[in-house]
Amino acid sequence: MVPKLRAVLGLQFAGALQSAYRNLSEDLAQCNTSGGLACDLGCVEHEKVLEESFEPWWDHQMPWRTLLHICELQRQRGSAQAFLGAIHEKRVFFTCCSQSSDQCEASALLQGLTDVEVLLGLVAELAQVVLQDTVFLFNTGDQPLTDRAYWSPVPQFHWVRSGGHWTVPLPNPFQLKAHAKNLLGDSEGNQGNLVPWGEKIPKLFWRGALSAPDLFALEDIGTLPRVRLMKLAKENQDLFDVGITNVDREMYRIAGRSRVQALVQQLGGTVKHEKSQQQMPRYRYLINVAAVLSSWRLVEMLATGSLLLLQEGADHELILEWLTPWEHFVPVSQGLSDLVPTLRWLEAHPDLAERIAAQGFRRFKERVRRQDTWCYLWQAFRAMADSHTPPEPAALAALTAEPGWREVPAEKLRKLKRHRRRILHKNGLRVATVRESDWKALEDQKEKRRHLRSMLSALGDVLERLVFSSSATVYRPCEEPIDEQRPLGCTNPYGWTKFMIEQILRDFVVANPSFSMSILRYFNPVGAHPSGRIGENPHGPPNNLMPFVQQVAVGRREALSVFGSDYSTHDGTGVRDYIHVDDLAEGHICALQKLFTMDGGCITHNLGSGTGYSVLDMVKAFEEACGKKIPYKMVDRRPGDLGTVVANPGKAKADFDWQTKRGLQEMCNSAWKWQSNNPYGYEEGGKD
């Protein structure tokens, strides 16, 4: 059962809370946490509004189920008491921080350091002392985390980046109501997303603040993109409806309020402060010209269903993590020189413009409304809280093995005790497949097992949980759906190595009863990261079907050899159970989460779809993905190959509610996106 969300913190609160926590013992003596909340919690005025409009979306889309209360702190004294009190009362807690809000500027609470290390350090203390079962979900608003490599066992944690910084894809707390409405884009409350294109406002809306650089000179203001946009709007009033939602206080401080107002009026705009709770409207086109396109701003823009016009700037990496140009958004230059011609062209092609806007909105729902995205974040932050104080990057690097397969000294591993409580064991070197079963491969597998025993010996008093990546090759050949009770028996050194490692791990659990172990047996992982940046890059001739098909599609190989055309299958070719790598990653998270509910023991699960696809099914799906024919030739069967090998993944569904979500076409689409961007793998211009 997934715990309920109990705390939402803003980074702006970190410094003030740290200061209050220094005197926590004194504060706790003044706060009757056992009898309720004795501290002044200030306003709870948002509670009713948010419960009415926000609760249904929250309840359906988040891994936790209940939103109890939302509170704001009003005074600095007693912040630690109120924090602990809200937690003990099982309330959701956050600080309001809106840079466009006058109240926040005057609040002492929001003058603290925006330092993620301070915040994580404090949370680690609280988690260790009084909040051991609390789930923390952090909200950074516009503030990026520092550009450092914080340790996290969840690789999906970094799937949003902004200019090299890690950011969290969550809205500012003040924007919750607006986001709740926008996220219900297909509900009765937001039917504007379904309005025909011709009936929408045929103008462009600017979402951003008029701000100034640190060294501001009034005569140079015409070079700012936002001012450039206003000039274009004044010259092309039939296309634009530019509104200033906020004027940066820094600009007021340096240039003066009267100068700013005069400049804005000269450019044809009006100075106004938009209420933070107001829902962003849907315009035909929506452009952001802020200095930094934060992840939550991108989420908010996509949620409107408008056609996004995004500049090619420092945040281009963030945009490409989410979206594809001319499929989900329309790119424009940093200087906006091509903005007006682009708008004229889109106006002349309304069907294409509407299709791009619709695909962008669908992409938003796929990435943001999908529950597993929030699970990634929950697991990442829970891991950070559980790992006590995060190690400094330099210190962590010193505890890491050098590249290649080398033994990590036991003393180094033991130093990780205060930082790590679980390990995902991934053998970095796959040295034996069906085609590589020679004596050298056997020696390498023997060396692998020796290193595993060394690791377990070193971590016997440190490690508490381990997830091991095994393989379906440990099963005895069988053409019926394979469950975890099927007899084991391998046909190649790779399978036998997995089999023997499994046995070593089971023996280790018997000798250490409090140790929790998860063994995951894969069935044919395929596909790539949806960004197209991470994919399978085999060295030498591929040994698996999907990479071979990919290389044929990009012209590296002439044709695919199909081994056997006379099996008892629907088209005569072999049938296998394929699983998308993203589903596989989610399976690891679910297994790790399951281990936290155990007091020891070993569990084994299959990770497969339960559905079989033939070789020709794969070829046909890949042809649709790449838009070209895949040449193939039928050849004789390979010795030992079976006609059908399919998993029975029912146990994983029953034990930790995991099942595959992505089908064959999505596997092929993502694989082609990576291969087409990297024809020769990660080595540009390389050769086979």
Q: Which residues pair with 562 in a beta bridge?
A: 634
pLDDT in tens, 564-594: 999 999 999 999 999 999 899 888 888 888 8
Average pLDDT over residues 514-531: 88
pLDDT of 102 over the 50 cut = no
Classify residue 159: in a domain, yes or no: no
Answer yes or no: do 302 and 406 share one domain: no
- If asked whether residues 545 and 452 sit together in one domain, one would say yes
Is there a single domain that holds both residue 288 and residue 436? no
pLDDT tops 50 at residue 449:
yes
Looking at residues 629-650, what average pLDDT do you find? Answer: 90
- 178 part of a folded domain: no
Does 77 score more than 80 pLDDT? no
Q: Which residue has the higher pLDDT, 543 or 440?
A: 543
Residue 538 has pLDDT above 50, yes or no: yes
The answer to whether residue 156 is domain-embedded is no
**Overall average pLDDT of the 327-339 stretch:** 84
Cβ atoms 606, 660 nearer than 8 A: no
Answer with the one of 139, 154, 169 that is the final residue of a domain.
139
Tell the residue number behind the tokens 């906006």, with chain if given.
Answer: 336
Q: What is the pLDDT of residue 68?
A: 21
pLDDT at 156 over 60: no
Task: Say if residue 363 is in the same domain as residue 407.
Answer: no
* Residue whose pair of structure tokens reads 């936790």 in the numeric block: 64
CATH code (residue 246): 3.40.50.2000
How much is the average pLDDT of 311-337? Answer: 76
Instruction: Quote the domain boundaries for residue 234.
Output: 189-371
More confident residue, 489 or 163: 489
Percent of the chain with pLDDT over 90: 15
pLDDT of residue 22: 36
My answer on whether 350 and 440 are in the same domain is no
Quote the pLDDT of residue 242. Answer: 56
pLDDT of residue 70: 25
State the average pLDDT over residues 344-361: 87
- Which amino acid makes up residue 486? R
Comparing CA positions, the residue from 97, 160, 531, 91 lying closest to residue 377 is 160
Do 365 and 409 have their domain in common?
Answer: no
Which pLDDT score is estimated for 306?
81
pLDDT for 379 equals 31
Residue type for position 592: L
Catalytic site includes residue 150: no
Q: How many CA atoms lie within 13 A of 35 on its CB side?
A: 7
* Of residues 75 and 202, more confidently modeled: 202
Query: Which residue in this structure is represented by tokens 């002044």?
Result: 40
Residue 550 belongs to domain with CATH number: 3.40.50.720
Does 298 lie in the same domain as 197?
A: yes
The segment with the largest mean pLDDT, out of 53-62, 124-133, 207-216, 558-567, is 558-567
Q: How confident is the model at residue 255 (pLDDT cuts 50, 70, 90)?
A: low
319 with 459, same domain: the answer is: no
Q: Which helix (H) or strand (E) holds 519?
A: strand 516-522
Q: Is residue 166 part of a domain?
A: no
Residue type, 501: I
Mean pLDDT is lowest, of 139-153, 392-406, 428-442, 609-623, for: 139-153
Please determine, for residue 230, whether its predicted confidence score (pLDDT) is greater than 90: no
Same domain flag for 344 and 446: no
Q: What are phi and psi of 22, to 5 degrees?
A: -60, -30
Out of 237-241, 500-504, 629-633, pick the least confident. 237-241
Count other Cβ atoms within 10 Å, centred on residue 547. 19
For 574, residues 6+ apart whose C-beta sits below 8 A from its C-beta are 563, 564, 567, 614, 615, 641, 642, 643, 644
C-alpha span between 174 and 26 (Å, rounded) = 32
pLDDT mean over 644-673:
92
Which range (137-151, 212-226, 311-325) has the least confidence?
Answer: 137-151
* More confident of the two residues 400 and 158: 400
Report the percent of the chain where pLDDT is more than 70: 42
In sequence order, which residues have a C-beta less than 8 Å from that of residue 539 and are 6 or more positions away? none
Strand pairing class (575-577; 560-563): unpaired
- The predicted pLDDT at position 612 comes to 94
Cα–Cα–Cα angle for 59, 65, 70, nearest 5°? 85
Average pLDDT over every residue of 148-157: 24
pLDDT at 59: 25
Q: Which band of pLDDT confidence, cut at 50, 70 and 90, is reported for residue 618?
A: very high
Domain assignment present for 295: yes
Above 70 in pLDDT, residue 640? yes
pLDDT over 60 at 170, yes or no: no
Q: Please indicate, yes or no, whether residues 338 and 414 belong to a single structural domain of this protein.
A: no
For residues 527-550, average pLDDT = 82
User: Does residue 522 surpass a pLDDT of 80?
Assistant: yes
With tokens 């950070």, the residue in question is 384
Six token digits for residue 680: 């020769």
Residue 86 lies in a domain: yes
Q: Are 626 and 482 contained in the same domain?
A: yes
Q: How confident is the model at residue 321 (pLDDT cuts 50, 70, 90)?
A: low
C-alpha 244/C-alpha 206 separation (Å) is 7
Residues facing 161 on adjacent strands = 166
Q: Is the pLDDT of residue 464 over 80?
A: no
CA distance 474 to 472: 5
Q: Kindly name the residue from 285, 475, 494, 522 that is annotated as catalytic.
A: 494
* 183 closest CA partner among 55, 45, 91: 55
Residue 183 in domain: no
Q: What b-and-e string marks burial along 318-354, b requiring 16 or more CB atoms within 10 Å of the CB?
A: bbebbbbeeebbbbbeeebeebbebbeebeeeeeebb
pTM for this one?
Answer: 0.45
- Number of domains composing the chain: 3
> What pLDDT score does 635 carry?
93
Question: In this structure, is residue 279 part of a structural domain?
Answer: yes
* Mean pLDDT across 199-208: 49
- Give me the chain's average pLDDT, please: 60
* pLDDT of 565: 92
- For the chain, helix (H) and strand (E) counts, in that order, are 24, 23
Pick the most confident of 16-25, 32-41, 474-483. Answer: 474-483
631-655 mean pLDDT: 90
User: What DSSP line would sit under 275-333, residue for residue?
Assistant: -TTSPPPP-SEEEE-SSS--HHHHHHHHHTTPEEEEE-STTHHHHHHH--BTTTBEEE-
Q: Tokens for 191?
A: 């039917």
- CA distance readout (Å), 463 to 421, 422, 423, 425, 457: 6, 6, 8, 12, 10
354, 371, 388 - which closes a domain: 371
Whether the predicted pLDDT of 556 surpasses 70? yes
Task: Identify the sign of the CA torsion 94, 95, 96, 98.
Answer: negative
- Co-location of 436 and 535 in the same domain: yes
Which of 119-128, 213-222, 409-418, 658-667 holds the top average pLDDT?
658-667
pLDDT at position 260, please?
63
SS3 content of the chain, % helix, strand, coil (to 5): 45, 15, 45
- Give the mean model confidence (pLDDT) for residues 443-449: 60
For residue 340, name the pLDDT band (cuts at 50, 70, 90).
confident
Average pLDDT over residues 62-79: 27
Token pair 């159970």 is found at 577
Of 326, 355, 371, the last residue of a domain is 371
